[in-house]
Amino acid sequence: MSRRLSEISWDEFNKIAPADKAPYLVENERPAHVLTAQQFNREQLDMLGALATQVRFIAKTKTGMKFLRDLLSHKRAMLYFSQPSTRTFLSFCSACEILGMSIGEVRDTATSSEFKGESREDSVRTFSSYFDLIIMRSEIGGLAERMAWVLSNTDRPVPIINAGSGKDQHPTQALLDIYTLQRSFEQRGGIDGKKIVFVGDLARGRTVRSLASLLTRYNDVEQCFVAPKQLQIGEDVLAMLKAAGVKYEVSEDFESSIPSADAIYMTRVQDEWDVKKGDSTKIDTSKYCFTVGHLVLLKKDAVIMHPFPRRNEISHDVDDDPRAVYWRQMRNGMWIRAALIATIFASDDKIRHYSRKNI
């Protein structure tokens, strides 16, 4: 169906709401491009999570690793990161290498042709000449979508994965968050019916926006947004939740939000988006930090998450508590991305088959 992306104009495609773009981003029932968190429905989220778990188990043995590395050893991925990010970068590298893909990278624009006045369209089309997959991260909102549309109109429409664009979209972060919740609640009936508490800079963190949206795919999930007024979640997100019939709370009181939480999602102040440098320092965020003293307030089977990097939002001595799952969450990013890429290249069936036979 990706054919259809080439059948509409950029202006038309650009105007469509994220969730409604889904049909344009699918081909043979698999993602053709990964641009927005909202393009995934519950069935796909469940399928991807299950596949990630299979990849994770297969990778435990050398034989399994060999099987995985053979899957896409004929494919090559370009990581085009014009916005810095160690974690997302390494996670994607690892995911690609687990599947045997070769990797090329352009991280530093100073070493690229851009200074010679080339347009981004030409740059990305260049990458598509040499690679079979483009994973791109940019400070420019909508750039990944634009590039996917451009490539879909060429005779080499390689898939694009959005690894973060602008303030809005970071779909694979949302996927890894969902996968972490799936794993955390595996013995408790899954994500349905749980209460998720978001804490910190909710105004500017794209991960919270994406995750809040994806959680509407699940039944009876309650969302709670805890932040100082100036960093509170956007009205648009609340409107979206309301429209979806989702129960939510908005609060400034962190401590009282802890006892009822099934998952607490901490975030750091995103001061790189400050309009005036230093604006964030004027906001008192000291009450929005998880310290070791909060552990007694937390349910025994709840989990603490963080998209990382962290500053002081979670005290280091919380790390040893078994409910602190943020390190596992990070590693989940690698597994879910491997599952996603395998699916894009239609190798998911092979993984399921191997898993049934060997695990």
Q: Rounded CA gap, 85 and 108, in Å? A: 12
Choice between 186 and 317, CB closer to a second copy? 317
Let me know: does 208 contact 267? Beta carbons within 8 Å.
Answer: yes
For residue 34, what is the DSSP state?
B
Choice between 99 and 240, CB closer to a second copy? 99
Active-site residue 88, yes or no? yes
Let me know: does 292 contact 312? Beta carbons within 8 Å.
Answer: no
Exactly one of 94, 251, 260, 315 binds a second copy (CB under 8 A); which one? 94
Stretch that binds a second copy, among 12-20, 101-109, 171-179, 289-297 (CB under 8 A): 101-109
Choice between 295 and 330, CB closer to a second copy? 330
Q: Rounded CA gap, 149 and 143, in Å? A: 10
3-state secondary structure of 45: helix
Active-site residue 170, yes or no? yes
- At closest approach, how far in Å is the CB of 12 from a second copy? 19
Q: Rounded CA gap, 184 and 194, in Å? A: 11
Report in angstroms the alpha-carbon separations of 304 from 88, 183, 192, 261, 314.
20, 13, 18, 10, 9
Let me know: does 175 contact 205? Beta carbons within 8 Å.
Answer: no
Catalytic pick among 62, 111, 116, 316: 116
Exactly one of 122, 249, 301, 317 binds a second copy (CB under 8 A); which one? 122
163 near a second copy, rule: CB under 8 A: no
309 near a second copy, rule: CB under 8 A: yes
Let me know: does 88 contact 137? Beta carbons within 8 Å.
Answer: yes
Choice between 201 and 257, CB closer to a second copy? 201
316 near a second copy, rule: CB under 8 A: yes
- At closest approach, how far in Å is the CB of 292 from a second copy? 16
The dihedral through the CA atoms of 292, 298, 304, 310 has a sign that is negative
Choice between 66 and 353, CB closer to a second copy? 66
131 near a second copy, rule: CB under 8 A: yes
Catalytic pick among 60, 66, 74, 87: 87
Active-site residue 116, yes or no? yes
DSSP string, 178-237: HHHHHHHTGGGT-STT-EEEEES-TTT-HHHHHHHHHHTTSTT-EEEEE--GGGPPPHHH
Stretch that binds a second copy, among 31-39, 88-96, 133-141, 294-302 (CB under 8 A): 88-96
Beta bridge partners of 250: 225
Catalytic pick among 137, 183, 206, 209: 137
330 near a second copy, rule: CB under 8 A: yes
232 C-beta neighbours (distance < 10 Å), count: 18
Query: Looking only at residues 174 through 233 of this chain, which bind a second copy when binding is defined by CB under 8 A?
Result: none
85 near a second copy, rule: CB under 8 A: yes
Give the active site residues.
87-88, 116, 137, 170
For a second copy, the binding residues (CB under 8 A) are 62, 65-66, 69, 73-74, 76, 78, 81, 84-87, 89-91, 93-94, 97, 102, 104, 106-108, 110-118, 121-123, 125-127, 129-131, 154, 156, 268, 272, 308-311, 316, 327, 330-331, 334
